[in-house]
A and B are shown apart, each in its own frame.
Chain A
């Protein structure tokens, strides 16, 4: 039981971080960012390059991931999504753009970083072992703590900073926020950059545990969408709840159902279908959007 709890907390924290950026972008711009997983992968490769290849301190490499993805996110919003949203009322336009971006990033990653799985040296050695009831490598514990701290910092930022309040206002009612003097174009760009930065941050954190490879983007996006659907699209607390729920479902399923083969995700998908049939807006989403 102790191991299941620890695995659930660890998986939940990393999943919540992945979902946060996706739901933020959706809340602000109504954009389903199918390239979110690829942004996560890019973040991992930036940390891999600076920490694993160039020997920078891990914290600086992580910072480089955040900055790179934030700048990339801002540019993407300013030069791609903003013009498309301005010219087209059809939601498919941004969805197609996001899907195109995902393919584009995959191609760039293949060209720049190659097809191989990449990994970096461990940031902390050793394994915590409590009488074989609970085994957890110290680097996972550290990453879990950093992920939780990042989530708390993000919530505080959104709650108490001027930028955070403006972003929340934008997410709640774009027109009202504009009428109240919020610079919509500027904060949309900041919001997208923040969402991309979160993807870069979690990619940089997890490359120390899972490594990174070209093909991780698509599956990561799918998991992120699942979490957002569980919690409620566009709701920050919903994304966190969705991530933690998915993490615990996975940890419990893998521990309890392992003797029956790989049915954990089968049951998760079935549960998700039943849940969405009953509550299509997710746990914390509003039925009207």
Chain B
């Protein structure tokens, strides 16, 4: 064969192989799932753990050949938007999702963002899964928001009751950042503590989220000598510093929060001073994590270099969306079909051992099923890792 002919043949072969490869790659239609949340600024850890959980899970699904919904197998594409914790940007993000024809969005991460996007989501036929606690988002006539985690008014009473009954806690102090989420969580916590007969000895000390030294903030709280210090709605960035300052000021009681935390962050920021710190977690403690959960943690770590324990909860939203669509494929373009399915939906929980189920809950708190059933795992930090204190369910 002449050199010229050989070259032509090679080029033709290369083109046809790449065309075939593209055809194979493009065989699966793409299902876009959105994320609108905070991935920059002081609260970036909340949104980034969301986004990375979704990306790690989507990558895993795509690598395994896609996700079958009805007769069609889809590749999953995550479309992300950083709302910078700004409600106006959150609205812009939700509008962007609508323009892209996306009907399922995870986020926003905070109360005001979640409230701001509600009109857009309901008008544009978007189901969204916020990590925000205001009940009006999930109570009728609101229809399109699904709480993506356990709310503080669900976990708080369980934690306080446990501490009252098991640890003899009688007095409690609350400290919160001066922002809508932590303040509303603090108010919910005070209500729950009062209902349980605990004495609230300090409830009005707040701090700026960019505070660099919490000693002056906590000094007046420590003077009230509470048995329990609740860090309402504390971000993972502030938690170790608050714990450290409280312990350095001589606080000997229990410290707790109703938000998810990361063991590495606590170890680095507070060391042994964080021992005994109680927080709410997801499903990756060794006692309950399934092999799929372990695989997810491994893939996340491989993709991003380091796992974030907050993803124990954040892994769920995408799984719920896909599994519900699988239960009723009509939901892909019609969120009312998705909403109808939510009432009866049940599927095996791939991230927990045993026969745990994925299902929608929230009837007690919201009067309708607008919350995903994430296990209420209450953890205690000890020597660099979380131990499960108790596991409960929410309805």
Q: Which residues of A contact B (CB under 8 A)?
A: 3-4, 7, 10-11, 14, 52, 106, 110, 114-122, 127, 129, 132, 135-137, 140, 206, 209-211, 213-216, 218-220, 223, 250-251, 254-255, 258-262, 265
Q: Using Cβ atoms and an 8 Å threshold, which residues of chain B touch A119?
A: 240, 265, 268-270
CA distance A144 to B48 in the complex (A): 34
Quick check: is B361 within 8 A (CB to CB) of the other chain? no
Determine whether the beta carbon of B216 is less than 8 Å from that of A261.
Answer: no
Quick check: is B140 within 8 A (CB to CB) of the other chain? no
Given contacts A52-B268, A116-B265, A265-B208, 17 further A-B contacts (CB under 8 A): A7-B219, A110-B48, A114-B306, A115-B44, A115-B308, A116-B306, A117-B238, A118-B268, A127-B250, A135-B219, A209-B212, A210-B212, A211-B269, A215-B41, A216-B212, A259-B204, A260-B204
Quick check: is B220 within 8 A (CB to CB) of the other chain? yes
Q: Which residues of B contact A (CB under 8 A)?
A: 39-45, 48-49, 178, 204-210, 212-213, 215-217, 219-220, 236-238, 240-241, 248-250, 262, 264-265, 268-271, 304-306, 308
Q: How far is the CB of B138 from chain A (nearest CB, A)?
A: 28
Q: How far is the CB of A118 from chain B (nearest CB, A)?
A: 6
Determine whether the beta carbon of B207 is less than 8 Å from that of A215.
Answer: no
Partner of B248, one of A14, A137, A210, A265: A137
Some 9 contacts from A to B, beta carbons below 8 A apart, are A3-B216, A11-B216, A118-B265, A135-B250, A206-B212, A210-B212, A211-B268, A259-B205, A265-B208
Q: Find the residue from A140, A209, A220, A255 having the highest chain B CB count within 10 A.
A: A209
CA distance A116 to B250 in the complex (A): 27
CA distance A82 to B49 in the complex (A): 39
Q: Using Cβ atoms and an 8 Å threshold, which residues of chain A touch B305?
A: 114
CA distance A260 to B220 in the complex (A): 12
Which 9 residue pairs spanning A and B have beta carbons closest together?
A219-B210, A215-B42, A119-B269, A262-B178, A262-B206, A119-B268, A115-B48, A117-B237, A254-B216
Determine whether the beta carbon of B210 is less than 8 Å from that of A220.
Answer: yes
Q: Using Cβ atoms and an 8 Å threshold, which residues of chain A touch B269?
A: 117-119, 211
Q: Find the residue from B42, B207, B304 having the highest chain A CB count within 10 A.
A: B42
Q: Using Cβ atoms and an 8 Å threshold, which residues of chain B touch A14?
A: 212-213
The answer to whether residues A209 and B248 also contact, given A120-B268, A215-B40 and a CB cut-off of 8 A, is no
Determine whether the beta carbon of A11 is less than 8 Å from that of B213.
Answer: yes
Q: Using Cβ atoms and an 8 Å threshold, which residues of chain B touch A218?
A: 41
State the total of A-B contacts with C-beta under 8 angstroms: 126
Determine whether the beta carbon of B241 is less than 8 Å from that of A211.
Answer: yes
Q: Using Cβ atoms and an 8 Å threshold, which residues of chain B touch A122?
A: 271
Determine whether the beta carbon of B265 is less than 8 Å from that of A117.
Answer: yes
CA distance A114 to B307 in the complex (A): 10
CA distance A135 to B236 in the complex (A): 25
Chain A binding surface SS class:
helix
Q: How far is the CB of A240 from chain B (nearest CB, A)?
A: 18
Q: Using Cβ atoms and an 8 Å threshold, which residues of chain A touch B40?
A: 106, 110, 214-215
Q: How far is the CB of B135 from chain A (nearest CB, A)?
A: 23
Q: Using Cβ atoms and an 8 Å threshold, which residues of chain A touch B240?
A: 117, 119, 211
CA distance A110 to B304 in the complex (A): 11
Closest-by-CB residue of B relative to A103 is B40
Q: Using Cβ atoms and an 8 Å threshold, which residues of chain A touch B268?
A: 52, 117-120, 211
Determine whether the beta carbon of B204 is less than 8 Å from that of A255.
Answer: no
Q: Using Cβ atoms and an 8 Å threshold, which residues of chain B touch A118?
A: 265, 268-269
Determine whether the beta carbon of A116 is less than 8 Å from that of B264.
Answer: yes
Q: Using Cβ atoms and an 8 Å threshold, which residues of chain A touch B45?
A: 115-117, 213
Determine whether the beta carbon of A262 is less than 8 Å from that of B271.
Answer: no
Q: Using Cβ atoms and an 8 Å threshold, which residues of chain A touch B215?
A: 7, 135-137, 140
Q: Using Cβ atoms and an 8 Å threshold, which residues of chain A touch B39?
A: 115
Q: How far is the CB of A79 from chain B (nearest CB, A)?
A: 26
Closest-by-CB residue of A relative to B236 is A117
CA distance A116 to B260 in the complex (A): 13
Q: Using Cβ atoms and an 8 Å threshold, which residues of chain A touch B249?
A: 127, 135
CA distance A219 to B206 in the complex (A): 17
Partner of B241, one of A11, A210, A223: A210
Determine whether the beta carbon of B44 is less than 8 Å from that of A216.
Answer: no
Determine whether the beta carbon of A258 is less than 8 Å from that of B204.
Answer: yes
Q: Using Cβ atoms and an 8 Å threshold, which residues of chain B touch A132?
A: 250
The answer to whether residues A116 and B210 also contact, given A11-B216, A211-B268, A258-B220 and a CB cut-off of 8 A, is no
Determine whether the beta carbon of A216 is less than 8 Å from that of B265.
Answer: no
CA distance A250 to B210 in the complex (A): 13
Determine whether the beta carbon of B42 is less than 8 Å from that of A213.
Answer: yes
Partner of A209, one of B207, B213, B271: B213
Q: Using Cβ atoms and an 8 Å threshold, which residues of chain B touch A206?
A: 212
Partner of B237, one of A121, A137, A215: A215
CA distance A11 to B214 in the complex (A): 11
Q: Using Cβ atoms and an 8 Å threshold, which residues of chain A touch B43?
A: 215
Q: Find the residue from B216, B220, B248, B265 having the highest chain A CB count within 10 A.
A: B216
Q: How far is the CB of B304 from chain A (nearest CB, A)?
A: 8
Q: Using Cβ atoms and an 8 Å threshold, which residues of chain B touch A254?
A: 216-217, 219-220
Determine whether the beta carbon of B207 is less than 8 Å from that of A116.
Answer: no
CA distance A216 to B209 in the complex (A): 10
Determine whether the beta carbon of A116 is less than 8 Å from that of B236.
Answer: yes
CA distance A187 to B325 in the complex (A): 65
